[in-house]
Amino acid sequence: MLQVSNNNVIIPLRFWNELKKNDYFRELIEVLEDSKDFEEAKKETTSFLNLNDYMKKRELAEMKKANKTKKEIGRKTKKYV
């Protein structure tokens, strides 16, 4: 069913599709695929943010977006007053 070599594990497509039908295994497969994509992205990038820096930038972006929305609502309200 599974073939294991020094660097790879080979899973037949039929078995892979059966695993994807199971909720637990589907979650596991998604985590494996995401971690592979993450590792590739880390190799391709020249800079990397740590979580705290990312959260700060995200919070600032959300605050700017919220302020912009408030200003737009204020402008629309002034038109009708």
Q: How far apart are the first and last CA of the chain?
A: 73
What range does the domain containing 42 cover? 1-48
State the pLDDT at residue 38: 82
Residue 32 and residue 30: Cα distance in Å, rounded? 5
**pLDDT value at 22 more than 90:** yes
Number of domains comprising the chain: 2
Residues 79, 57 share a domain: yes
Q: What is the pTM of this model?
A: 0.45
Residues 42, 75 share a domain: no
Residues 35, 2 share a domain: yes
Q: Which helix (H) or strand (E) holds 25?
A: helix 23-44
Residues 53, 40 share a domain: no
Between the ranges 32-41, 46-55, 72-81, where is the mean pLDDT highest?
32-41
Residues 60, 32 share a domain: no
Residues 23, 56 share a domain: no
3-state secondary structure (DSSP) of residue 5? coil
Mean per-residue pLDDT over the chain, rounded: 82
State the pLDDT at residue 21: 93
Residues 43, 53 share a domain: no
Percent of the chain beyond pLDDT 90? 20
